[in-house]
Amino acid sequence: MAANMYRVGDYVYFENSSSNPYLIRRIEELNKTANGNVEAKVVSLFRRRDISSNLNGLADSNAREFEEESKQPVVSEQQGHQLKHRELFLSRQFESLPATHIRGKCNVTLLNETDVLAGYLEREDCFFYSLVFDPVQKTLLADQGEIRVGSKYQAEIPDKLPEVESDTRNQLKLETKVWDPDNPLTDRQIDQFLVVARAVGTFARALDCSSSIRQPSLHMSAAAASRDITLFHAMDTLQKNGYDLAKAMSTLVPQGGPVLCRDEMEEWSASEAMLFEEALEKYGKDFNDIRQDFLPWKSLASIVQFYYMWKTTDRYIQQKRLKAAEADSKLKQVYIPTYTKPNPNQIMPVGSKPGVNGAAGFQKGLSCESCHTSQSAQWYAWGPPNMQCRLCASCWIYWKKYGGLKTPTQLEGAARTATEAPPRGHMTRQEVQGLSPFTSSAGRAKLLAKNRQTFILQTTKLTRIARRVCRDLLQPRRAARRPYAPINSNTIKAECVIRLPKAPKLPLKVRATVRPTLATIVKELAIQAPLKLKAPRGTPTPINRNQLNQSRASTNILGVKRPFENVGGGLQYSANGRPFTSGMRTTSQSVIKRQKVNPGDAPNPVVFVATKDTRALRKALTQAEMRRAARKPHLPVRVKVPVPARPLLVPSVPASTTEPIVLED
């Protein structure tokens, strides 16, 4: 019965899935719900399989450093593999789970350099941790609560000097003397001086406005003046003045007024004290997290000093009593019976009722994936269902408790990532969209055929000026080699404004552009453009491939013109005189129908046809001008083309005359 009794502070196994390993949690509270069930507030602990590969690399490096520092004995490859299953990572994450999902107890300890790692493998249900995992920030840090046990934490005590030998060390460098027990003053005189110091501290608080607000009554001021900070100041004053009471009293009350000594208890406000109590309730005595999340304006020494002073107040005693009364009203322990229901992954024998994962359809003769045995009283389905892998009873229990197999296999990683999405770091945009479960096969083809819209980044005038003025800050060549590195444009623009001369801004002088008249432009165009004979009108040359199946010849008087290959009959020949083979297509054959694209997704057909003048212009450009035009296509190309000679007009012979036609017989 004691094995099934679970108390606050126990490390237990929780089962959230029939096929996944157990969750390891630490019970913080046991609460009873309104419907009578028991819920456990637990602290989460994570395995290596629960964190990313990058954090696993950090854990490996930390393990290697620990082995080198603690001089661990060499273990085999299989033992090293199993030790990774025993390592856990503590976290600050809390969650509530039903107590009925508890499946047993385990033991989790903080790893110490005096421990032997191989000893964890000899003990059942035994785990260790040395790092803290943050599930939100995805970080892995060393635990601040490390127990400092070992040779490097021990003090080195020098040997005792003989009685005849004197100490030659410089005492001023070793320590500072703050009190001499062999002083000339008696104990009564010292106590009287301490009373005077308290009275001076009370009077100083009465003169201070902030202290009168915090301690409005005389009793509170006297209690604050009786703290250790006042007594330490009085004894230090006696030491500095050579235990002369007259000089020490004059030091307590200088010319400017009495000296006021305050400790952290007085320096902190009431709101800061409330924040500290709230942080202490959440984080415990983790002062680094308290300072980071609640009191960043306080130093760590100030927080620690306030904590130990706060423990001496009535506020601490009152809160301790309230927590004790609250703990008495909560459950101390809960009894959970042993879970005896069959696992759904259990493989049924042939002929019985099949279970999930197609367990009844497993092939005979398969061995265990972990220990490779072929005989077991019970088998369990493991891994992806299509692989038909199975584990024996002992390896199944090892898998549930430790989250891995006894021997390293490739299928272990496949079983862990069977339900995870594949990595998309090296995929294109179309491949990632094609993997989406909400995209059908037709939709994926549409995504691949969809055209991309262009965009233009237009720079401002200040940006262009900053590129030249702040070239040393911008480093354009380095930025061009590393386009993925961000550039703080606001800082560069601010520096540009500072570097620019602060002269009064004068209005810009606009130069008037002299433009030629329209008649002059027409004359120049007439001289440059050569006169061309008008070609007879005919069928235009097709520029689209879809127009190839149209007839280029017009209908004449005799009817439709026959195609060239049908003239003369017989075999059909191509242009080189060889007959067409079965794989060649003639002009008369129909063009293969192309795949139709959705008009909404198809790009606009834009065709550029080079004219004779354009080709002549390209020939007139030099290689440097061609490169310059390719780098800056937005600038016009200025080329001096020689004016061609004006062609002579050839008089056309008239087709008919006015003279009569004479026919001689």
- Per-residue pLDDT at 621: 85
pLDDT band at residue 543 using 50, 70 and 90 as cut-offs: very low
Strands (E), 349-457: 379-382, 389-392
Q: How big is the CA angle at 15 (ends 11 and 21), to the nearest 5 degrees? A: 90
pLDDT band at residue 449 using 50, 70 and 90 as cut-offs: very low
- Per-residue pLDDT at 304: 92
- Per-residue pLDDT at 188: 92
Q: Can you spell out the DSSP letters for 214-259? A: H--SHHHHHHHHTSHHHHHHHHHHHHHTTT-HHHHHHHHS-TT---
Report the alpha-carbon distance of residue 499 to residue 486 in Å, rounded. 23
In the block, residue with structure tokens 């970080």:
139
Report the alpha-carbon distance of residue 190 to residue 237 in Å, rounded. 12
Q: How big is the CA angle at 33 (ends 29 and 38), to the nearest 5 degrees? A: 55
Q: What is the pLDDT of residues 580-591, one digit of tens each?
A: 444 444 444 444
- Per-residue pLDDT at 150: 67
pLDDT winner (highest mean) among 297-301, 329-333, 478-482, 650-654: 297-301
Report the alpha-carbon distance of residue 467 to residue 475 in Å, rounded. 9
- Per-residue pLDDT at 175: 78
Average pLDDT in the chain: 76
Q: What percent of the chain has pLDDT over 90?
A: 16
In the block, residue with structure tokens 């359809």:
361
- Burial grade of 360 (CB within 10 A; 0-12, 13-18, 19 or more): middle
Copy the structure tokens of residue 299. 């130093």
Q: Can you spell out the DSSP letters for 36-60? A: S-EEEEEEEEE-GGGS-HHHHHHHH
At residue 341, does pLDDT exceed 60? yes
At residue 539, does pLDDT exceed 70? no
pLDDT winner (highest mean) among 136-145, 207-216, 479-488: 479-488
- Per-residue pLDDT at 15: 92
- Per-residue pLDDT at 357: 38
Mean pLDDT of 458-484: 84
Copy the structure tokens of residue 277. 């109590």
Do the Cβ atoms of 55 and 102 come closer than 8 Å? no
Q: Can you spell out the DSSP letters for 541-594? A: PP-SGGGTTS--SPPBTTBSPPPGGGTT-SS-B-TTSPBP-TT---SSSPPPPP
Report the alpha-carbon distance of residue 388 to residue 582 in Å, rounded. 52
| Beta-carbon count within 10 A of 248 CB | 22
Phi, psi of 624 (to 5 degrees): -65, -40
- Burial grade of 623 (CB within 10 A; 0-12, 13-18, 19 or more): exposed
- Per-residue pLDDT at 494: 80
Greatest Cα pair distance, the chain, in angstroms, is 173
Q: Are strands 102-110 and 126-134 parallel, antiparallel or unpaired?
A: parallel
Q: Taking each helix axis as running N to C, give the angle between helix 393-402 and helix 77-86, from 0 to 180 degrees, rounded to the nearest 10.
A: 50
pLDDT band at residue 424 using 50, 70 and 90 as cut-offs: very low
- Per-residue pLDDT at 596: 56
Contacts of 30-36 with C-beta under 8 Å, sequence gap 24+, read: 30/6, 30/99, 30/330, 30/331, 30/332, 30/333, 30/334, 31/96, 31/330, 31/331, 32/331
Report the alpha-carbon distance of residue 25 to residue 90 in Å, rounded. 10
pLDDT band at residue 659 using 50, 70 and 90 as cut-offs: low
Buried b (16+ CB within 10 A) or exposed e, 328-338: eeebeebebee
Mean pLDDT of 306-332: 84
At residue 569, does pLDDT exceed 70? no
| Beta-carbon count within 10 A of 502 CB | 7
pLDDT band at residue 374 using 50, 70 and 90 as cut-offs: confident
pLDDT band at residue 508 using 50, 70 and 90 as cut-offs: low
At residue 106, does pLDDT exceed 90? yes
Q: What is the pLDDT of residues 150-180, one digit of tens each?
A: 676 777 887 888 888 888 888 777 778 888 8
User: Across-strand partners of 178?
Assistant: none
Copy the structure tokens of residue 562. 């026959």
- Per-residue pLDDT at 212: 61
- Per-residue pLDDT at 265: 81
Q: What is the pLDDT of residues 14-48, one digit of tens each?
A: 998 888 999 999 999 888 888 888 999 999 999 99
- Per-residue pLDDT at 605: 62
C-alpha closest to that of 238 among 172, 191, 290: 191
- Per-residue pLDDT at 537: 55
| Beta-carbon count within 10 A of 537 CB | 6
User: What 3-state class would DSSP assign to 126?
Assistant: strand
- Per-residue pLDDT at 260: 83
Sign of CA dihedral 127, 132, 136, 139: negative
Q: Can you spell out the DSSP letters for 137-179? A: TTEEEE-TT----SGGGS--PPPPPPTTS---S-HHHH-----
| Beta-carbon count within 10 A of 276 CB | 19
| Beta-carbon count within 10 A of 319 CB | 15
Task: Specify the length of the chain in residues.
Answer: 665
Q: Worst-scoring range by mean pLDDT, 42-46, 107-111, 408-412, 485-489?
A: 408-412
Q: Worst-scoring range by mean pLDDT, 342-356, 434-448, 534-548, 640-654?
A: 434-448
Q: Can you spell out the DSSP letters for 70-96? A: HTPPP--HHHHHHHHHHEEEEEEEEEE
At residue 329, does pLDDT exceed 60? yes
Report the alpha-carbon distance of residue 416 to residue 404 in Å, rounded. 9
pLDDT winner (highest mean) among 81-95, 245-259, 385-399, 592-606: 81-95
* Phi-psi label, residue 362: left if phi above 0, alpha if psi -120 to 50, beta otherwise: beta
Helix (H) / strand (E) element for 14: namely: strand 11-14
Strands (E), 415-527: none
